[in-house]
């Protein structure tokens, strides 16, 4: 069965209305996800949103309770073994065999994937990755730290070519230097035409690597699109020195009470004067219109920060951060 | 290479030392039993007397099996087969759980199942690996019997019977791994099943009907419910009938079919029985470092205590029977005498023998508590405790010494209570209770010595804590408790702490050895604790 031809032709990941129940608990509540061929897709959500559950279903390790899930056009539960020849998987918390060395574990995982015919090519890639990740392959599994166990899975994944890379918070435990190596490898496989699904709760990681992102929350997709599309939904932050702008600051504070009334600058939001600096946000497509106004006032120390996904993220999950019922429950429990 | 081949290779690689030890140990037990029976009961008359006695005292049949003829080979099968089947069962269930639920729990199964191996191949590889291990075990047992001078055909049947039992238990281990969420739970259920099969067969055998010549017993129905009972009906060296083994294999096949069906429908990591939710807040007892140490070790301590309780019951129950043996079979009495010190009465010798086994259990309990300290150190939880509380290294180590001492006290007390219950059940005199009390107190020094030794090993050679402490205990047990039986010189036997425990001899007790061991234990514990206070935590080697 030549799956690679098949793989190139169909959508790598297509999920519609995916539901997963664990007993009475609803882990995934009609989740949608579509990953096109050759794209690096960010899969974002806070802990417990259902990222890992979705990934386990995509790998055929868990079965969907309802909904449609296909990987390269096939049912991952029924055809797991055949699909896994096309997929490289990196879990977020890697556990390796205590009495095998890291190098042995890498080779074993590679062979289990169905190692390619060119042994020399595999050797070369593996040795290069061992070098790049500064990994000591001779230590026994039990002696590795979390970051080093993570490297075992990463090296095994990148050393054998795959059509689809599924990675569940793959950089947890890696130091920033190693994250750079990881980014480079993702860029390399993407350039070679592979598809990557990268789950994360670290936004900067996704922001740098991904073409498109899907944001999920409580088992449901809340936002999906290219970064540009999502940035459209976020606001740009503008900050400058408040010194000599007392009137404006005064106006600004009034403006905070009634958004939109800042003299000469329409539609400003979140105005704050703090440590001698004035900050406000504005819809990103209005930035150009605001700049002449700021120039007219001769503002000093101007910074214009591009919109970050962080903001989008907070907007979707912001209410979870606000204290409320959780703390009341905690108080009630403490009384008991 | 195919995924099945790779995973099989991985299993062999992981188990090479462990399985070799199980197989060699079990075969050695078979050989040792053959040789020692030939030595002790060389003549047919002696063996007939032995069988008649055994049939007269069903308690013996519970632990051994059913007599099936007075030939040396038939008596060997009667005496040792159930033990061998028990060992094959434990080896097989641990193997099954280790490579299925154990890997799932650790998250390794997820990584393996995300390759072309898929969800089914790991289970199939474990099945093939387990069947292979039992085939080798059966062959090794057969070779051991042949080496002991027994007929080859019967040896082959006996080996096949052991292997078939192993395969039946292997299938149960795989099943338990499907049903329960943790490898700990699956191992517990499997051990309960294996021991249950052994006990069920024991009850059936004890309730069996003896032949008129007092040379064989037909087991009662409970034996026919046990995989070990089925395999025993092969009647190795007598009937040499392999048909009953089909029952074991059919049992295994049915369970494997259920296992494969469950594996094909369940999520990786999920289980048939969902785990219960634990408590949300810590109980009052879980405060301070001792509370934590006790919480981490109490389940183990209680398990050792249950074993000690059973041993205690046996000690006094069997005392009644020993009087009879002394009159009817002097050679048995002589064997028991060799196991113990000179100058004891036969009853005292028996109580002392069984209580030296209790002493071993208490020492094992103490070792396990110290190993727990080591596990805390390697897993990083000790670091968490020491780094985030005012508990210092010295106090932390002392906490585990304290938990070990409490464990020893509980194990010995359980044995004593068992002995009191056994004596009361047999209508025994208070003399037996007094002997048991003395024997229990007499085991305190040897258990403390092992607590101290385990502490010193943990402090000075942390990486060797597990293998070295268990090896020392095993060596001391073989030398001290069984050394006399296999005819080792007295000075070698006396090297073992167990040989120096104070035992009642006549009306007096010689406490010299006990006092010396207390001094050694005190020195080891004090020294070890002080060094622990100065030593840094060592997570690696």
Instruction: Tell me the C-alpha distance between B497 and B447, whole Å.
Output: 9
Is residue B89 scored above 80 in pLDDT?
Answer: yes
% residues pLDDT > 70 (chain A): 80
The encoded tokens of residue A247 equal: 């009137």
Q: DSSP string spanning B2-24?
A: -HHHHHHHHHHHHHHHHHHHHHH
The encoded tokens of residue B496 equal: 């073992």
| pLDDT recorded at residue B486 | 62
Question: Residue A335 falls within a domain, yes or no?
Answer: no
Say whether B270 and A62 touch across the interface (CB within 8 A).
yes
Q: Closest Cα of chain B to A85: distance in Å? A: 6
B429 phi, psi to nearest 5 deg: -80, 170
**Neighbour-count burial for A96-131, b at 16+ CB within 10 Å, e otherwise:** bbeebbbbbbbbbbbbbbbbeeeeeebeebbeebbe
Is residue A190 scored above 70 in pLDDT?
Answer: yes
**Residue A198 and residue A69 share a domain:** yes
Q: For residues B250 and B167, is the Cβ–Cβ distance under 8 A?
A: no
Q: Name the pLDDT band for A200 (thresholds 50, 70, 90).
A: confident
- Of A204, A231, A258, the position where a domain reaches its end is A231
Q: What is the mean pLDDT of chain B?
A: 87
Question: Residue A326 falls within a domain, yes or no?
Answer: no
Counting the structural domains of chain A, the total is 2
Q: DSSP string spanning B144-181?
A: HHHHTT--HHHHHHHHHHHHHHHHHHHHHHHHHHHH-S
Q: For residues B255 and B174, is the Cβ–Cβ distance under 8 A?
A: yes
**Residue A196 and residue A148 share a domain:** yes
| pLDDT recorded at residue A328 | 37
Question: Residue A175 falls within a domain, yes or no?
Answer: yes
**Residue A88 and residue A29 share a domain:** yes
| pLDDT recorded at residue A280 | 84
Say whether B115 and A84 touch across the interface (CB within 8 A).
yes
Burial class (CB in 10 A: 0-12, 13-18, 19+), A80: buried
Q: What is the four-CA torsion angle of B195, B201, B206, B210, rounded to 10 degrees? A: -160
**Residue A167 and residue A256 share a domain:** no
The encoded tokens of residue B103 equal: 């890997």
Question: Residue A97 falls within a domain, yes or no?
Answer: yes
* Residues of chain B neighbouring A78 (CB-CB closer than 8 A): none
Is residue A107 scored above 70 in pLDDT?
Answer: yes
Say whether A89 and B114 touch across the interface (CB within 8 A).
yes
Say whether A84 and B118 touch across the interface (CB within 8 A).
yes
* Residues of chain A neighbouring B119 (CB-CB closer than 8 A): 60-61, 80
Say whether B116 and A96 touch across the interface (CB within 8 A).
no
Instruction: Tell me the C-alpha distance between B379 and B381, whole Å.
Output: 6
Find the CATH number of the domain harbouring A270.
3.30.70
Distances (CA, A) of B348 to A70, B54, B309, B312, B417: 74, 21, 18, 13, 17
Rg (CA), chain B: 24
For residue A175, give the 3-state DSSP assignment.
coil
Q: Name the pLDDT band for B370 (thresholds 50, 70, 90).
A: very high
In this prediction, residues B190-200 reach a mean pLDDT of 88
For testing contact with chain A, the best of B1, B13, B16, B110 (most A CBs within 10 A): B110
Paired strand residues for A68? A16
Question: Residue A334 falls within a domain, yes or no?
Answer: no
| pLDDT recorded at residue A333 | 38
Say whether A85 and B116 touch across the interface (CB within 8 A).
yes
**Residue A206 and residue A91 share a domain:** yes
Q: Name the pLDDT band for B345 (thresholds 50, 70, 90).
A: low
Instruction: Tell me the C-alpha distance between B62 and B47, whole Å.
Output: 19
A165 phi, psi to nearest 5 deg: -105, 120
Q: For residues A27 and A49, is the Cβ–Cβ distance under 8 A?
A: no
Could you read off the pLDDT of B55-69 as tens digits, one per residue?
Answer: 876 767 877 889 999
Q: Name the pLDDT band for B468 (thresholds 50, 70, 90).
A: very high
% residues pLDDT > 90 (chain B): 50
Helix ranges (H only) for B380-511 are 381-388, 393-425, 430-442, 444-460, 465-482, 490-493
Residues whose CB falls within 8 Å of the CB of residue B442, separated by 6 or more in sequence, listed in order: B355, B359, B501, B502, B503, B504, B509, B514
| Domain ranges, residue A275 | 235-306
| pLDDT recorded at residue A327 | 36
Residues whose CB falls within 8 Å of the CB of residue B396, separated by 6 or more in sequence, listed in order: B289, B373, B382, B385, B386, B532
| Three state DSSP letters for B107-133 | CHHHHHHCCCCCCCHHHHHHHHHHHHH
**Residue A262 and residue A193 share a domain:** no
Say whether B540 and A108 touch across the interface (CB within 8 A).
no
Q: Closest Cα of chain B to A199: distance in Å? A: 16
Please tell me which residue, B527 or B325, carries the higher pLDDT value.
B527
For testing contact with chain B, the best of A112, A140, A329, A333 (most B CBs within 10 A): A112
**Residue A255 and residue A215 share a domain:** no
Please tell me which residue, B541 or A173, carries the higher pLDDT value.
A173
| Least confident residue range of A40-54, B286-300, B416-430 | B416-430
Instruction: Tell me the C-alpha distance between B205 and B217, whole Å.
Output: 8
| Least confident residue range of A36-40, A332-336, B213-217, B524-528 | A332-336
| pLDDT recorded at residue B413 | 96
> Could you say which DSSP state residue A141 is in?
G
Could you read off the pLDDT of B354-368 as tens digits, one per residue?
Answer: 888 899 999 999 999
Could you read off the pLDDT of A72-106 as tens digits, one per residue?
Answer: 999 999 888 889 889 999 998 888 888 889 999 99
| pLDDT recorded at residue A322 | 41
Distances (CA, A) of A278 to A136, A283, B27: 51, 17, 84
Angle at A270 between CA A266 and CA A274, to 5 degrees: 120
| pLDDT recorded at residue B353 | 76
Q: Are strands A277-283 and A235-241 parallel, antiparallel or unpaired?
A: antiparallel
Paired strand residues for A235? A283
In this prediction, residues A107-115 reach a mean pLDDT of 82
For testing contact with chain B, the best of A61, A119, A139, A166 (most B CBs within 10 A): A61
Question: Residue A35 falls within a domain, yes or no?
Answer: yes
Chain mean position to CA B115: 38
Q: Which residue has the tokens 């019977």?
A: B161
The encoded tokens of residue B30 equal: 């078979």
Is residue A272 scored above 70 in pLDDT?
Answer: yes
**Residue A254 and residue A193 share a domain:** no
Q: What is the mean pLDDT of chain A?
A: 81
Could you read off the pLDDT of A279-309 as tens digits, one per residue?
Answer: 888 877 788 888 888 888 788 888 888 766 6
| pLDDT recorded at residue A321 | 46
Is residue B207 scored above 90 in pLDDT?
Answer: no
Please tell me which residue, B339 or A271, carries the higher pLDDT value.
A271
| pLDDT recorded at residue A250 | 53
Q: For residues B293 and B398, is the Cβ–Cβ distance under 8 A?
A: no
- Of A188, A211, A231, the position where a domain reaches its end is A231
Q: For residues A285 and A279, is the Cβ–Cβ distance under 8 A?
A: no
Size of interface A-B (CB pairs under 8 A): 87
Could you read off the pLDDT of B250-306 as tens digits, one per residue?
Answer: 999 999 999 999 999 999 888 877 777 777 777 877 877 888 899 889 988 998 999
Q: Closest Cα of chain B to A269: distance in Å? A: 43
> Could you say which DSSP state residue A144 is in?
-
**Residue A221 and residue A281 share a domain:** no
| pLDDT recorded at residue B335 | 60
Nearest CA in chain A to B120: A81
Question: Residue A311 falls within a domain, yes or no?
Answer: no
**Residue A182 and residue A298 share a domain:** no
Chain mean position to CA A238: 26
Nearest CA in chain A to B263: A61
> Could you say which DSSP state residue A260 is in?
T
Q: For residues B450 and B497, is the Cβ–Cβ distance under 8 A?
A: yes
| pLDDT recorded at residue B59 | 66
Burial class (CB in 10 A: 0-12, 13-18, 19+), B421: middle
Residues whose CB falls within 8 Å of the CB of residue A82, separated by 6 or more in sequence, listed in order: A1, A3, A74, B116
Find the CATH number of the domain harbouring A211.
3.40.50.300
Question: Residue A330 falls within a domain, yes or no?
Answer: no
Nearest CA in chain B to A110: B115
- Of A205, A231, A257, the position where a domain reaches its end is A231
Q: What is the ipTM of this complex?
A: 0.72
Residues whose CB falls within 8 Å of the CB of residue A221, separated by 6 or more in sequence, listed in order: A31, A32, A33, A214, A215
**Residue A102 and residue A59 share a domain:** yes
In this prediction, residues B460-472 reach a mean pLDDT of 90
The encoded tokens of residue B239 equal: 């009937």
Q: For residues B454 and B400, is the Cβ–Cβ distance under 8 A?
A: no
**Residue A13 and residue A117 share a domain:** yes
Nearest CA in chain B to A52: B110
Is residue A35 scored above 90 in pLDDT?
Answer: yes
Instruction: Tell me the C-alpha distance between A283 and A298, whole Å.
Output: 22
The encoded tokens of residue B221 equal: 């129905």
Q: Name the pLDDT band for B352 (thresholds 50, 70, 90).
A: confident
Say whether B119 and A84 touch across the interface (CB within 8 A).
no
In this prediction, residues A147-168 reach a mean pLDDT of 93
Q: Name the pLDDT band for B144 (thresholds 50, 70, 90).
A: very high
Residues whose CB falls within 8 Å of the CB of residue A96, separated by 6 or more in sequence, listed in order: A102, A105, A141, A144, A149, A152, B108
- Specify the pTM: 0.76
């Amino acid at each position: 069965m030549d799956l690679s031809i098949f793989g190139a032709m169909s959508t790598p990941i297509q999920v519609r209305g995916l539901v997963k129940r664990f007993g009475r608990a609803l882990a995934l509540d009609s989740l949608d996800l579509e990953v096109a061929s050759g794209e690096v897709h960010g899969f974002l959500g806070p802990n417990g949103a259902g990222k890992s559950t979705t990934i386990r279903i995509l790998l055929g390790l868990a079965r969907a309770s309802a909904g449609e899930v296909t990987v390269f056009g096939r049912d991952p539960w029924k055809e797991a073994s055949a699909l896994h020849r096309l997929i490289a998987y990196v879990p977020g918390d890697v556990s390796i065999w205590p009495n095998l060395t890291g190098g042995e574990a890498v080779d074993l995982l590679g062979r289990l994937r169905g190692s390619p015919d060119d042994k020399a090519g595999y050797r070369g890639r593996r040795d290069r990755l061992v070098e790049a990740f500064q990994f000591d392959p001779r230590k026994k599994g039990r002696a590795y730290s979390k970051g080093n166990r993570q490297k075992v899975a990463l090296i095994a994944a990148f050393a054998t070519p795959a059509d689809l890379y599924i990675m569940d918070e793959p950089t947890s435990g890696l130091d920033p230097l190693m994250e750079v190596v990881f980014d480079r490898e993702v860029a390399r496989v993407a350039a070679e035409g592979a598809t990557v699904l990268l789950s994360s709760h670290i936004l900067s990681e996704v922001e740098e690597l991904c073409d498109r992102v899907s944001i999920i929350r409580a088992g449901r997709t809340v936002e999906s699109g290219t970064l540009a599309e999502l940035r459209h939904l976020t606001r740009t932050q503008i900050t400058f020195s408040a010194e000599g702008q007392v009137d404006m600051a005064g106006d600004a504070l009034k403006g905070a009470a009634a958004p939109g009334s800042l003299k000469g600058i329409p539609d400003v939001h979140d105005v704050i004067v703090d440590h001698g600096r004035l900050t406000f946000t504005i819809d990103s497509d209005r930035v150009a219109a605001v700049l002449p106004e700021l120039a007219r006032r001769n503002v000093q120390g101007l910074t214009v920060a591009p919109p970050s996904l962080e903001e989008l993220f907070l907007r979707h999950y912001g209410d979870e951060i606000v204290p409320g019922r959780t703390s009341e429950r905690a108080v009630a429990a403490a009384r008991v | 290479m195919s995924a099945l081949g790779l995973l099989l290779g991985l299993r062999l690689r992981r188990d090479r030392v462990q399985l070799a030890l199980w197989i060699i140990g079990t075969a050695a037990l078979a050989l040792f039993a053959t040789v020692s029976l030939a030595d002790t009961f060389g003549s047919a008359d002696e063996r007939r007397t032995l069988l008649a006695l055994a049939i007269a005292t069903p308690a013996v049949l519970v632990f051994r099996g059913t007599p099936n003829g007075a030939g040396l080979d038939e008596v060997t099968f009667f005496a040792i087969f159930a033990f061998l089947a028990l060992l094959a069962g434990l080896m097989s269930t641990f193997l099954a759980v280790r490579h299925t639920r154990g890997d799932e729990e650790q998250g390794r199964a997820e990584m393996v199942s995300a390759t072309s191996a898929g969800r089914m191949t790991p289970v199939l590889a474990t099945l093939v690996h387990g069947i292979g291990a039992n085939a080798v075990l059966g062959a090794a047992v057969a070779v051991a019997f042949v080496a002991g001078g027994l007929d080859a055909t019967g040896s082959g049947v006996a080996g096949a019977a052991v292997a078939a039992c192993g395969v039946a238990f292997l299938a149960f281990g795989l099943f338990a791994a499907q049903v329960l969420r943790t490898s700990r739970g699956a191992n517990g259920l499997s051990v309960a099943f294996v021991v249950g099969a052994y006990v069920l067969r024991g009850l059936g055998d004890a309730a069996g009907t003896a032949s008129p010549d007092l040379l064989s017993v037909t087991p009662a129905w409970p034996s026919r419910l046990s995989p070990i009972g089925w395999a025993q009906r092969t009647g190795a060296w007598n009937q040499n009938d392999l048909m009953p083994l089909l029952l074991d294999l059919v049992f295994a096949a049915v369970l494997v079919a259920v296992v494969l069906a469950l594996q094909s429908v369940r999520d990786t990591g999920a289980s048939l029985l969902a785990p219960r939710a634990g408590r949300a807040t810590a109980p009052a007892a879980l405060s301070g470092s001792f509370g934590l140490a006790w919480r981490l070790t109490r389940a183990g301590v209680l398990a050792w205590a249950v074993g000690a309780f059973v041993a205690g019951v046996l000690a006094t129950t069997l005392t009644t029977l020993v009087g009879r043996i002394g009159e009817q079979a002097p050679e048995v009495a002589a064997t028991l005498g060799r196991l113990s010190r000179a100058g004891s009465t036969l009853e005292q010798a028996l109580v002392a023998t069984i209580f030296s086994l209790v002493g071993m259990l208490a020492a094992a309990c103490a070792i396990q508590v110290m190993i727990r300290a080591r596990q805390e150190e390697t897993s990083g939880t000790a670091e968490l405790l020491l780094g985030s509380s005012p508990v210092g290294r010295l106090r932390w180590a002392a906490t585990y010494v304290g938990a070990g001492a409490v464990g020893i006290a509980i194990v010995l007390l359980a044995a004593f209570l068992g002995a009191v219950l056994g004596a009361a059940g047999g209508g025994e005199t208070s003399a037996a209770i007094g002997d048991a009390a003395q024997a229990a107190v007499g085991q305190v020094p040897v258990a403390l010595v092992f607590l101290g030794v385990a502490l010193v090993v943990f402090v000075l050679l942390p990486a060797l804590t597990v293998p070295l402490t268990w090896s020392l205990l095993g060596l001391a047990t073989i030398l001290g408790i069984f050394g006399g039986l296999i005819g080792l010189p007295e000075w070698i036997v006396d090297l073992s702490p167990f040989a120096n425990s104070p035992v009642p001899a006549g009306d007096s007790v010689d406490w010299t050895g006990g006092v010396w061991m207390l001094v050694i234990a005190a020195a080891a514990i004090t020294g070890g604790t002080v060094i622990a206070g100065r030593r840094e935590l060592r997570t690696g080697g």
